[in-house]
Homo-oligomer: A and B are copies of this chain.
């Protein structure tokens, strides 16, 4: 296990899907930041299960408690303990899967790695693990917003074969993203996506999707070449989210099809700083932010736990048919939005803290 992320702003998470609680310790948070549970709860509420027909029906309020690190409404500079109790545990749902590892799920690899695994649900590989990160990242978001006016906005840009139009040049607000339950601000595409998710849910199947995220108002100079390039640590953070299969920044895979003379972002004077005409770079050069918005996409596979009958095998290799029970999301991307946004904040604030000495 390696449940800590960050060099100076460090987050360590704990908790299984069907244990007593999940949470995190945030170490290295600056002192004297105004902070209460009310700053953290909104992103937790955006990711909580049971919030719409697009998500698992598991019902959790996911109310966070701050255990330490804050006194009289301000951070002390000491570790912030964060805890969310699990309520709607149903370990019984998983009994029939005890000897048949779910295809494309972590049952098999956890068993092989640890020689043991949580008997109920995904344990540590469940999406509930992300609660600690989201709570911690919400703190980072607040600090970045206050200090730099940083805005981090993710939205659903595709579900299955349905693609939304490109909105990276006219970035939606979080309110616009949340205006529909699939969280795609292209209303026409959103309607089709909702139909598709409803369809797969009714079939007890699942479907994948892609998120796009844009980060505006962040300092120039963040990122630590060579191994901790901005995009490298961002890629690590994104691929650490359950169900992710791909990451691209700026032009990404389509940039690999272009000529340099078309791809290069030439410089132009912008108000108060040197900017670029285009942003194929996605806001980074040589692993360092250049002041243009960070633009990236993350691919999520279809959830592995489905009710559709699957011809598979037991741990011992005998043929078996699995129709998985339990409560699961038919498509993870709407709930992944606050996860992606808060993970970006964790990466960003850590780079801000690593950078400051050299700029001052």
Nearest Cβ distance between residue A6 and chain B, in whole angstroms?
9
CB–CB B300/A256 < 8 A:
yes
Residues of B within 8 Å of A106, CB to CB, are 225, 285-288
CB–CB B79/A258 < 8 A:
no
Nearest Cβ distance between residue A299 and chain B, in whole angstroms?
4
CB–CB B259/A253 < 8 A:
no
Nearest Cβ distance between residue A198 and chain B, in whole angstroms?
14
**Known pairs A81-B23, A226-B124, A260-B304; A246 contacts B245 (CB<8 A):** no
Other A-B contacts than A19-B71, A31-B114, A108-B290, 6 sampled, CB-CB below 8 A, are A2-B225, A15-B79, A74-B116, A76-B114, A79-B124, A209-B256
Residue of A29, A105, A313 contacting most chain B CB atoms (<10 Å)? A313
Distance of A13 Cα from B68 Cα, bound (Å): 10
Residues of B within 8 Å of A264, CB to CB, are 103-104, 302, 304, 306, 310
| Interface flag for A168 (CB, 8 Å) | no
Stretch from A41-49, A50-58, A180-188, A231-239 that touches the partner: A231-239
| Interface flag for A240 (CB, 8 Å) | yes
| Interface flag for A224 (CB, 8 Å) | yes
Residue of A75, A83, A247, A306 contacting most chain B CB atoms (<10 Å)? A247
Chain A interface mostly: mixed
**Known pairs A236-B233, A354-B8; A225 contacts B1 (CB<8 A):** yes
Q: List 19 A-B contacts (CB under 8 A).
A: A4-B10, A4-B12, A77-B114, A78-B114, A103-B265, A112-B220, A112-B290, A113-B355, A113-B359, A160-B259, A231-B239, A232-B236, A232-B240, A235-B238, A236-B236, A245-B256, A260-B303, A260-B308, A267-B312
Residues of B within 8 Å of A124, CB to CB, are 76, 78-79, 225-226
CB–CB A253/B258 < 8 A:
no
| Interface flag for A94 (CB, 8 Å) | no
**Known pairs A16-B71, A105-B286, A301-B258; A224 contacts B357 (CB<8 A):** no
Distance of A15 Cα from B23 Cα, bound (Å): 14
| Chain A interface extent, by class | 35 or more
Residues 1-38 of A, flagged 1 when their CB comes within 8 A of B and 0 if not, give 11111011010111110011111010111111000000
CB–CB B115/A32 < 8 A:
yes
Find residues 248-264 in chain A having any chain B CB closer than 8 Å to their own CB. 248-253, 255-261, 263-264
Distance of A12 Cα from B301 Cα, bound (Å): 33
